């Protein structure tokens, strides 16, 4: 029996098939509801960038312990075997004694040696200075990890705000789509009754279809913004998430938040802190260099157990073993190395001067950014206030234009203009709040402010 399907039936079957894909192949999971604080908490525990920063701290701690091991004795075991292929010969010529032109072979066929040795630094200025450098390297690693966290706070926060912006914009577009669809139905009914022209109904139908296209694009923007947030959080990309709140919720606290921001202080800025730590590293490197000019003193002890044996008694009871041991102290005083140490000192001094100039330039650049972010925040507050009133007026104008069109006191062009004004006002209002929140997040990162502090 041949089954005949019309175009609508085929479309429904395709939609049903596509709807079944996530359940079969995309491993759909339960929806995860997250707030901004929860999103940051998950990112700090799951994001690979933060995990790498934590691993770096552990690595530097082990490096510090490795250098500390230089203060303890260095103990080693060794064993050696030598086989005499051609033995040495001894020649002598003493008056009154017969000469021996062929010489006399001396030594044994085999030499066995087992030894244990130990060395200990007693006075080691360069080693001591290097240990202090390890402390500074650990401090740098910790500050670098803090910088990674600040960047993560910033990225997750802005991604979260981006989701809210996409969702609020979607609501505006959806409301416009519903208005366009409703208007198209009303105009179609009027067209059937002969009160409006076919051209006006066609315009309304095209407007509704365009609104549908905008709605689909807006929905795609929401999905993409959620994917970006999930990537930063370090969770499975197929996990469904739902964010809490909307952009307008932040209006209640924005003025108080701005009053608490002190953009004039950069004492917690991570870039400046890392620069200061680099300066400390350079100072310590200079100390290490100076320490290399000082004498060093070390002690060593060696204990050996040896045996010389010909092949005939090797590994027999007649083979004789005997111990030897020695204790020594070594003093090393550097005197002259062709001026290399002197020129190395001059290089370090120039590096310190360069770092002073670079730090000054960096601070000015950061101050400029802080002023710029603060200006953006102030301008965004003005935009929010204006756009909030503009949105209220656009909603009112849209409502009035609908009623006027229904009673024939307005044209479809007036209705369409009112709808476009509503869309622009809604999107501008949401965008201004997002700009404020984004600039505030960037300023907090610049000031080194951690989330929740």
More confident residue, 9 or 279: 279
Q: What is the pLDDT of residue 408?
A: 77
Average pLDDT, the chain: 86
Q: Which of the four pLDDT bands, split at 50, 70 and 90, describes residue 341?
A: confident
Spatial distance between the Cα atoms of 65 and 69, rounded to a whole number of angstroms: 6
Cβ atoms of 451 and 155 within 8 Å: the answer is no
- pLDDT band, very low/low/confident/very high, at 77 (cuts 50, 70, 90): very high
Q: Which pTM was predicted? A: 0.78
- Highest-confidence range of 15-29, 57-71, 254-268, 354-368, by mean pLDDT? 354-368
Please report the pLDDT score of residue 194 as a whole number: 84
Give the tens place of pLDDT for each residue, 214-264.
999 999 999 999 999 999 999 888 989 999 989 988 888 887 777 777 777
Pairwise pLDDT comparison (182 vs 101), residue with the higher score: 182
416 vs 241: CA distance, rounded Å: 35
* Per-residue model confidence (pLDDT) at position 452: 62
More confidently predicted of 18 and 55: 55
Mean pLDDT of 327-332: 92
Q: Which two tokens stand for residue 394?
A: 């656009």
Write the DSSP string, 317-360: TT---EEEEEEEEEEE----STTHHHHHHHHHHHHHHHHHHHHH
- Whole-number pLDDT of residue 94: 66
What are 367-392's pLDDT values in tens digits?
999 999 999 999 999 999 999 999 99
Per-residue DSSP letter, 91? -
pLDDT band at 95 (very low <50, low <70, confident <90, very high): low
**Amino acid 3: pLDDT:** 38
Q: How far apart are CA 212 and CA 205, in angstroms?
A: 11
- The token pair at 157 is 């926060």
Does the pLDDT value for residue 23 go beyond 50? no
Which residue segments constitute the domains of the chain, with CATH numbers given? 31-72+124-294+339-446 (1.20.1600.10)
Report the pLDDT value the prediction gives residue 330, as an integer from 0 to 100: 92
Residue 29's pLDDT is what? 53
* Region 174-197 average pLDDT: 87
- Give residue-wise pLDDT tens across range 391-429: 999 999 988 988 888 777 888 788 888 888 999 999 999
Structure confidence by residue, pLDDT tens digits, 121-130: 999 998 888 8
Asked if the model's pLDDT at residue 98 lies above 90, the reply is no
Over residues 28-52, the mean pLDDT reads 85
What six digits make up the tokens of 135?
């402390």
Q: What is the pLDDT of residue 409?
A: 83
Q: pLDDT over 90 for what percent of the chain?
A: 47
pLDDT digits (tens, 9 = 90+) for 252-276: 888 777 777 777 788 889 999 999 9
Which of the given ranges, 65-69, 173-177, 190-194, 337-341, has the highest pLDDT on average? 173-177
Instruction: Of 138, 120, 148, 123, give the one whose Cα is nearest residue 284.
Output: 138
Residue 143 CA to residue 145 CA, distance in Å, equals 5
Residue 48 confidence (pLDDT) above 90: no
Mean pLDDT computed over 304-330: 91
- Which range, of 111-115, 204-208, 335-339, 393-397, averages the lowest pLDDT? 335-339
Q: What pLDDT does residue 360 have? A: 92
First to last CA, the chain: 73
């Amino acid at each position: 029996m041949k089954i005949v399907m019309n175009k609508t039936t085929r479309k429904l079957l395709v939609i049903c098939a596509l709807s079944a894909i996530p359940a079969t192949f995309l491993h759909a999971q339960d929806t995860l509801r997250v707030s901004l604080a929860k999103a940051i908490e998950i990112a700090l525990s799951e994001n690979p960038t933060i995990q790498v920063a934590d691993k770096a701290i552990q690595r530097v701690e082990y490096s510090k312990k490795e250098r500390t091991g230089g203060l303890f004795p260095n103990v080693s075991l060794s064993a050696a075997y030598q086989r005499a292929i051609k033995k040495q010969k001894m020649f002598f010529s003493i008056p009154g004694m017969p000469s021996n032109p062929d010489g006399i072979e001396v030594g044994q066929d085999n030499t066995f040696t087992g030894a244990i040795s130990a060395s200990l630094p007693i006075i080691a200025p360069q080693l001591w200075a290097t240990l202090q450098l390890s402390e500074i390297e650990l401090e740098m690693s910790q500050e670098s990890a803090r910088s990674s966290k600040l960047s993560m706070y910033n990225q997750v926060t802005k991604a979260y705000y981006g989701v809210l912006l996409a969702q609020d914009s979607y609501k505006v577009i959806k409301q416009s789509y519903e208005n366009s669809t409703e208007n198209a139905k009303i105009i179609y009914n009027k067209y059937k009754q002969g009160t409006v022209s076919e051209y006006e109904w066609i315009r309304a139908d095209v407007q509704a279809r365009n609104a549908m296209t905008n709605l689909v694009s807006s929905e795609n923007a929401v999905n993409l913004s959620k994917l970006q947030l999930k990537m930063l959080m370090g969770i499975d990309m197929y996990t469904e998430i739902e964010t809490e709140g909307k952009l307008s919720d932040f209006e209640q606290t924005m003025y108080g938040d701005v009053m608490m921001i002190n953009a004039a202080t950069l004492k917690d800025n991570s870039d400046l802190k890392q620069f200061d730590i680099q300066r400390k590293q350079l100072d310590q490197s200079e100390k290490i260099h100076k320490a290399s000019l000082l004498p060093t003193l070390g002690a060593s002890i060696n204990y050996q157990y040896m045996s010389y044996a010909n092949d005939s008694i090797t590994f027999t009871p007649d083979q004789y073993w005997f111990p030897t041991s020695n204790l020594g102290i070594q003093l090393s005083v550097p005197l002259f190395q062709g001026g290399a140490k002197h020129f190395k000192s001059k290089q370090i001094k120039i590096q310190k001067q360069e770092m002073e100039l670079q730090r000054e330039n960096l601070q000015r650049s950061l101050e400029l950014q802080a002023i710029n972010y603060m200006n953006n925040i102030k301008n965004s507050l003005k935009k929010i206030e204006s756009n909030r009133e503009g949105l209220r007026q656009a909603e009112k104008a849209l409502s009035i234009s609908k009623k006027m069109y229904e009673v024939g006191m307005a044209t479809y062009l007036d209705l369409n203009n009112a709808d476009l004004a509503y869309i622009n006002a809604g999107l501008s209002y949401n965008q201004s709040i997002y700009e404020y929140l984004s600039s505030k997040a960037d300023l907090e990162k610049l000031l080194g402010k951690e989330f929740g502090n």
